[in-house]
Structure 1
C-alpha cells in the first residue's frame, strides 16, 4: 500500500467555500498519491454546489434533498472503487504529513478499519475527537456538562476526553472505541462489509455506531495523534442549529436503543425516549 488509491469524500450543506479550502490542503498532502475527490452537496440553499471549484480529479453530486451525512457518504462510496476512503468535513484543514501518518497506521495494523487524526481547534487546542463508547453514565459526564466541570478528573469525564490525554502522553497510535467522523481514513472493503453508515442516523452518532459495528467484526479504530487536522467544527450544522440540535438528540436515542439498552421494555429506554426530546426542545429554545 505504498501509493494507494484514495477517494476523499466531503459532504456539504451551505459550505461550498469551506470545501474549496479543505480541498486545497488535501491536494498539498496528497501530491504524490493517486487520488480523487467526491463532494456530495446535500441540497444547499446558498448555491454551495456551484461554488466548489472544478478540477479533473473532482466530482460534485447535487442532492435534491438533504439526505443526511451518513447517507451522503454511502452515496459517494458507491461511486468509487478506491481502496481507501478519506472522510473530511468541509471545515477541515489538513496539515502536512497527515495522510502518510494515517496510511502508515493502516499498513502496520491489518485489523485496523479506521485511522483517525488528532483534530485541533482554531486556537490549537485538542478536540475531544477520540472517546470511549457512550453509555448512560458518560452522557451525564458530557464534555460540557455540570458534572464534568465539577469532576474533571473522574473516569467518566476522561472517557470523553481521551484525545487530549493520549496527545499529552505522546501516544503514536492507539486503539480507541470511537472517533469523530470529521476525519476518518477507512478501508473501503471493511466499510462495504458492514454496509457503510447506518442511514437511520441523519446527523451525529453515525460515527460512534460505525466504529462499534467494526469492533463487533474484530476490526479496530485507531487514533493517530501525529496526523493533525484543523477542524473549526460545525460549518454545516451552524447554518441550521435548531435542526442540528433535534438531529443530535434523535440520533442519540437511536444509538442508545441500538447499542446501550436494547430492550423496549427496560425503564431506562423509556426514560431516554422522553428525556432526550425534552432536552432537544429546551436547547432549541435557547439556540
Structure 2
C-alpha cells in the first residue's frame, strides 16, 4: 500500500522562532507518511520575514509570502494552492505547536479506517505539560441559555464532556483550530475554509459544513502535541471584536433572524455585566448591540506592501 500524502500547512505572523521549532518537531516525529510542509508567511514585518527565510532550507519545507495578512482561513487557503495535488490529508497546524508523537501517521491511520471522519485532531497539552481541552461545542441557543451541563444531560452524545480524559477516539462537535487534520476529498467538496472568517470561528464553521455533508469530527487522544497558546495574536479590543464579527457571521449563515436576535441579546448582557472588571466589555457590548458589523474587521485596515 502506498504511503498517504499529507500536506502540513503552517501560518507565520511575526513569530519565526515558533515556526522553526514547529518545523523541526514535525521532521523529528513524522514517519510512515509522505509529507510536505508549506509555510505561509501572513505579511509579517520585513525583519521577521528575513529571519524566517532560512526555514526554506529545512527538509520538506516550501515557504510562501503573502503581501497582505489573509487571516487564518485565507492564509491556509493560499497554502493549499501550493500543496501536492495527490494529497490525501491536510494538516492545518498552528506554528506555536510541537508534536509529541508521530501525529500525522496516527491521524492518517485513523482516517483511513474511519470513512465518516472529515476532520480529527490530536490531544492538546500546554507548555507546562498540562492536558488541555481539544474540542468544543457548536454554539446553540440551548447551550448558551440553559448551560452546557443541562444540555449534556438531555443529549450526552452531542455534548461529550470536554475535560474528560479520553483513551479511545471520541466523536466530538468540533476540533480546535490549532490541530485540524482534514480529509482532502471532503475539504475539496465543501470548498475549503470560508475566507470571510478572518481570525476566529473557522473550526466551528468547517465542522458544521462537513457535518452537513455527512462527515464527523473526532479526537484521537493517542496522538499528542503541545500548543503554546496565542503566541501570534496580542489581546486587544480590536482582536476581541474580531471574535464577535466571525461569531455573528456564523449565526447569519446557520440561524434564523429570531435566533440571531436572541444571540445578540445574550452576548450583549454577558459582556455588559462585566464592565466593572474592564471597560473593554462595555465597548464590546455596544459593538454587539450594533450587530458586530464585518466592515469594522481588521482585514479592511490593511495597506498592501
Residues in 2 aligned to 1:13 and 1:140: alpha-carbon distance in whole angstroms: 36
Query: Aligned partners of 2:40 and 2:141: how far apart in 1?
Result: 34
> What is the RMSD computed on CA atoms of the aligned residues?
3.0
Change (3 A) 1:161 1:177: closer
Of residues 229, 242, 246, the one that matches 2:241 is 246
Match of residue 250 from structure 2: 255
Match of 2:169 among 162, 167, 173: 173
Q: Secondary structure at the match of 1:203?
A: coil
What residue is the counterpart of 2:104 in the other structure?
99
Measured in 2, the distance between the counterparts of 1:98 and 1:242 equals 35
Pairwise CA distance, 1:285: 7.2
Q: CA 1:155–1:192 in structure 2 vs 1: closer, same or farther (change >3 Å)? A: same
Greater CA radius of gyration, 1 or 2? Answer: 2
> Residue 202 of structure 1 aligns with which residue?
198
Cα deviations across residues 8-52 of structure 1 (Å, max 9, x unaligned)?
101111111101101111011224432111111111126333223
2: CA distance, partners of 1:248 / 1:277: 13
**1:208-261 Cα shifts (integer Å, max 9, x gaps):** 1100100100011111011111111111113x54432121121111122222x3
Shift of 1:269: 5.4
Contact 2:116 2:215 in 1 (8 A): yes
Aligned-partner SS, 1:35: strand
Relative distance call for 1:140 and 1:43 in structure 2 (3 A) is farther
- Verify the 8 A CA contact 1:22 1:94 in the aligned structure 2: yes
**Normalised TM-score (structure 1):** 0.83
Equivalent pair of 1:115/1:186 in contact (CA under 8 Å): yes
Q: Report the secondary structure of 2:36's partner residue.
A: strand
Structure 1 match to 2:8: 8
Structure 2 distance, partners of 1:224, 1:271, is: 36
Looking at structure 2, the residues matched to 125 and 96 of structure 1 have their Cα atoms a distance apart, in angstroms, of 16
**Change in 2 beyond 3 A, CA 1:247/1:37:** same
Q: 1:98 to 1:11 in 2, by over 3 A?
A: same
**Corresponding residue number in structure 2 for 1:113:** 118
Q: Give 1:60's match in structure 2, choosing from 41, 60, 63.
A: 63
Contact kept in structure 2, 1:131 and 1:161, CA below 8 Å: no
1:197-276 residue pairs with structure 2 within 5 A?
197-238=193-234, 241-259=236-254, 261-263=255-257, 267-268=261-262, 271=265
Within the alignment, does 1:282 sit opposite 2:280 as a pair? yes
Contact 1:249 1:277 (8 Å CA) reproduced: no
Listed as ranges, the gaps of 5+ residues in structure 2 are 285-305
Secondary structure, aligned partner of 2:107: helix
CA distance in 2, matches of 1:285, 1:160: 32
Aligned to 2:38: 38
Please give the secondary structure, in 1, of the residue aligned with 2:225: strand
* Structure 1: distance between partners of 2:7 and 2:225: 17
| CA distance in structure 1 between the aligned counterparts of 2:93 and 2:27, rounded to whole angstroms | 13
Where does residue 22 of structure 2 map in the other structure? 22
1:79 correspondence with 2:82? yes
